[in-house]
Chains A and B, each alone.
Chain A
Amino acid sequence: MPLLETRDLTRLFGGLAAVNGVDLTVDKGEIVGLIGPNGAGKTTCFNLLSGFLRPTRGSIVFDGEDITGLRPHQIAARGLVRTFQLTTLFQEMTALENVLLGLHLHSGKGPRQVLFSRRDFPADEIARGRDVLDFTGLAAHAHQLSRNLPHGHQRVLGIAMALAAEPRLLLLDEPVTGMNLDESGRVMDLVKTIRSRGTTILLVEHNMKAVMGTCERIVVLNFGRKLAEGTPSHVSTSPEVIQAYLGTGVAHA
């Protein structure tokens, strides 16, 4: 049974089909890339999967449960957690606070303990937050305000927060955009490590080198429809894909 399965996933904006009849499956333990030219419907797809948009038609099944139409926080609580392209973190909080917020789903602290305990956060929760920062290489910046971190670290912190929520499927929206070669290489290594620890990954990314080097399977969208699907080498040589990216003129050349 696939971890995530969409059937005929469709979202109309007025008369425009931003996502049109997409069947998408992600198996447990995979790293799947979702690519396509600008406006292909990748971000809309993410918004549908994470509950920020309701599909006009179609269904989303996560781990055997129909999650179509659930609210974002309910979907996150089931283990499907996403990151964002732009607002990736809470600028006015420290790195550790950002991660502690991600942990909140899995903390059983009741209101009585909040009022009568001497500590603001239980020690084990802080320790778990530090573990996540350690794992992502941000331990040295735990108490820094996240807006003061360099861009690369900010993006990684965005991933760390999502990890703290203990996802089974992690949706990464353009994790290496705006990074140099060195930084993007490190993030992609991190993505592979996350997968090796048992989290399945679906990512949207424009950086083809990163996508081709990391993903085992790639799904190509164009004008809201699924255009192609397969291994990186299959997809990168597919004539339809080349045509979608470069236009017909080059395909004939």
Chain B
Amino acid sequence: MRPKLGVPIVLATVVGLALLVPRFGGDYYVHVFALVFTNVILAASLRPSLTCGQLNIGHSAFMSIGAYTSALLAKNLAVPFEISLVCGALLAAAVGLAIGYPSLRLRGVYFAMVTVAFVEVIRLIAQLWVSLTRGMSGLSGIPKPSILGMTLTTRASQYYLVLGLTLVILLVLWKLEHSRLGLIWKSIGLGDNLAQSLGVDIARHKLLAFMLGCFFAGTAGAFYAHFIRFLFPPEFGFLMATNILVYNYVGGRGHFVGPVVGATFLSLLSEPFRGSPYETIFFSIAMLLTILFLPGGLITLPRKLAELRWWRTASSPTPSPAA
């Protein structure tokens, strides 16, 4: 059991620092951190599905659905931001239901292949349906986000919006993971036969976890659309989908904060390479290093270091008696 007081202190510090970013950083940092939080939502929302043992490499498709839905509603029909955001998230969840229902019976790599194919399908639809999405010219002129009719014109206000969204979504996911639902997800990932024998409807719970992830990915996408105000189909391709997965593995799969740490760390570190070919190389190397040296992810780093120190202090002063 870890100390009860440590968690709130760390949490308050992190949130406090996040609140101070617009005050001390320029617009550049505000922009970077807003994208970091978008990635945190994406990574954390993939976790329920991964916990159920579903290797989902298609999360960016649902972000894309949320982004395009919200952008088109706001741009063409002047729908207020709050409503277009929810519509984007709901459509992403509905498409998740349509894709998940027939394919969640597949396991491991077969399910992963369906999700990979789906990313490409969504990308091609966005690319080829020119009359709606403007295809490869990109969708521009998306209105800025607004709340209750007030447009958030400054970068800082948009930053606070995504910070709020992230905190709410993380809180919801946290509560779910620590309830019986989270226990059920974990049980399905650890042994689906045993879970079934205890009366767990694994098909329903896998679908629920998957749709939940799609809903929040759609939310992140909708924010992204109104924040960047330009959508380009290849952005939501295979690369982004694998990145979301890599956030989870590099951060660590063993704890809720894993994807949060992974997404923050990798997004910040890869910032200099964003959009260049080096980005792929960077993510590949990060993944390789993690698998080789920290199979439990970054969240196990403190424990690993403590073990190393223990080894050193334990082995140096006492010469081996066996010698």
Interface residues of B in 42-91 (CB under 8 A from A): none
A82 CA to B195 CA, complexed, in Å: 11
A137 CA to B193 CA, complexed, in Å: 26
Interface residues of B in 176-230 (CB under 8 A from A): 176, 178-181, 183-184, 186-187, 190-191, 193-202
The residue in A50, A52, A104, A109 that gathers the most chain B C-beta atoms within 10 A of its C-beta is: A104
A121 CA to B184 CA, complexed, in Å: 13
Classify chain B: how many residues form its interface, as a range. Answer: 20 to 34
Kindly state whether residue A180 has any CB partner on chain B within 8 Å.
no
Kindly state whether residue B306 has any CB partner on chain A within 8 Å.
no
Residues of A contacting B175 in the complex (Cβ-Cβ under 8 angstroms): 114-115
Kindly state whether residue B323 has any CB partner on chain A within 8 Å.
no
Q: Judging by beta carbons under 8 Å apart, are B194 and A89 in contact?
A: yes
Kindly state whether residue B172 has any CB partner on chain A within 8 Å.
yes
Residues of B contacting A9 in the complex (Cβ-Cβ under 8 angstroms): none
Kindly state whether residue A161 has any CB partner on chain B within 8 Å.
yes
Q: Judging by beta carbons under 8 Å apart, are A76 and B190 in contact?
A: no
The residue in B180, B198, B201 that gathers the most chain A C-beta atoms within 10 A of its C-beta is: B198
Q: Within the complex, what minimum Cβ distance (angstroms) separates A74 from chain B?
A: 8
Closest to B190 in A: A90
Q: Judging by beta carbons under 8 Å apart, are A104 and B194 in contact?
A: no
Q: Judging by beta carbons under 8 Å apart, are A120 and B202 in contact?
A: no
Residues of A contacting B193 in the complex (Cβ-Cβ under 8 angstroms): 52, 72, 84, 87
A91 and B190 in contact, given A97-B183, A109-B180 (Cβ under 8 angstroms): yes
Instruction: Fill in one digit per residue for B144-186: 1 if any A CB lies within 8 Å of its CB, else 0.
Output: 0000000000000000000000000000100110111101101
Main secondary structure, interface of B, reads: helix
Closest to B197 in A: A82
Residues of B contacting A164 in the complex (Cβ-Cβ under 8 angstroms): 198
Number of residues in A with C-beta < 8 Å to the partner? 35
Within 8 Å by CB of A102, from B172, B181, B198, lies B198
Residues of A contacting B198 in the complex (Cβ-Cβ under 8 angstroms): 76, 81, 101-102, 104-105, 161-162, 164-165
Residues of A contacting B202 in the complex (Cβ-Cβ under 8 angstroms): 73
Residues of B contacting A143 in the complex (Cβ-Cβ under 8 angstroms): 1
Closest to B208 in A: A111
Residues of A contacting B184 in the complex (Cβ-Cβ under 8 angstroms): 101, 104
Q: Within the complex, what minimum Cβ distance (angstroms) separates A127 from chain B?
A: 15
Kindly state whether residue A251 has any CB partner on chain B within 8 Å.
no
Q: Judging by beta carbons under 8 Å apart, are A50 and B197 in contact?
A: yes
Kindly state whether residue A237 has any CB partner on chain B within 8 Å.
no
Residues of B contacting A246 in the complex (Cβ-Cβ under 8 angstroms): none
Q: Judging by beta carbons under 8 Å apart, are B196 and A87 in contact?
A: no
A194 CA to B218 CA, complexed, in Å: 50
Within 8 Å by CB of B179, from A50, A72, A91, A120, lies A120
A73 CA to B203 CA, complexed, in Å: 10
Residues of A contacting B180 in the complex (Cβ-Cβ under 8 angstroms): 100-101, 104, 107, 109, 114, 121
A162 CA to B197 CA, complexed, in Å: 8
Q: Judging by beta carbons under 8 Å apart, are B197 and A92 in contact?
A: no
Interface residues of A in 35-87 (CB under 8 A from B): 50, 52, 71-73, 76-77, 81-84, 87
Q: Which residues of A contact B (CB under 8 A)?
A: 50, 52, 71-73, 76-77, 81-84, 87-93, 97, 100-102, 104-105, 107, 109, 114-115, 120-121, 143, 161-162, 164-165
Q: Report the 9 A-B pairs with minimum CB-CB distance, sorted nearest first.
A: A76-B199, A72-B196, A105-B199, A114-B179, A120-B178, A90-B190, A73-B201, A87-B191, A77-B199
A-B contact pairs, 6 of them (CB 8 A): A76-B197, A90-B187, A97-B183, A104-B198, A107-B180, A162-B198
| New A-B pairs, 16, CB < 8 Å, besides A104-B184, A121-B180 | A71-B196, A72-B193, A73-B200, A73-B202, A81-B199, A88-B194, A90-B191, A97-B183, A100-B180, A100-B183, A104-B198, A105-B199, A114-B180, A120-B179, A161-B198, A164-B198
